[in-house]
Amino acid sequence: MAVAHGEHSVSMQEDIIYTKVIGAFNEFGIKNYTDTVMTLVKQREGKPFAVLVDNTKLEGATPEAFQLLESYNLWMNQQNMIAKALVFNVAILATITQSQTPSLCAENVKICKSIEEAQTWLELKIDQYKIRNNSCTEMTKG
């Protein structure tokens, strides 16, 4: 039986999906993580959202895990995702993640050094989305 390595938590507050990854991930750990987030996105039934990924406790991932992460990111980029902020406190992990998952080069993705920076940027992107679409009714509250 395959053993998943790496832990995660996922929650939703208003229009932001908050995720935290902890430890070193193999493909089974990443699959558990991505399945959890994808289920939450599907439950939104096309409503726009943003994502904040806290990678401050991430220790790394296997090449197989990065392959699954790339497929997940490509899928996420096809959803109604307004923006994604990735928080890293170790620069080399941010560099490795970007090099192994090219889909993170999308214009709506930002690497941040703190949760506060990520939160502020995502809130700005959500506000810009609302103004651009001239309607707050598409966004959900709570």
What is the tens place of the pLDDT at every residue in 27-47? 999 999 999 999 999 999 999
pLDDT at 126 over 90: yes
- Does residue 1 form part of some domain? no
Q: What is the DSSP letter of 104?
A: G
Planar angle of CA 110, 112, 118, nearest 5 degrees: 85
- Does residue 52 form part of some domain? yes
- Does residue 103 form part of some domain? yes
- Residue 80 sits in which domain range? 25-30+48-114
Are 33 and 6 in contact by the 8 Å Cβ rule? The answer is yes
pLDDT at 18 over 90: yes
What is the pLDDT at residue 141? 47
- Does residue 95 form part of some domain? yes
- Does residue 36 form part of some domain? no
Planar angle of CA 104, 119, 137, nearest 5 degrees: 90
pLDDT at 61 over 80: yes
- Does residue 101 form part of some domain? yes
Question: What confidence category does residue 104 fall into, taking pLDDT thresholds of 50, 70 and 90?
Answer: confident
Which residue bears the tokens 């509250």? Answer: 141
- Does residue 108 form part of some domain? yes
* pLDDT, the chain, mean: 90
- Does residue 89 form part of some domain? yes
Domain count, the chain: 1
96 or 30: which carries more pLDDT confidence? 30
What is the pLDDT at residue 10? 98
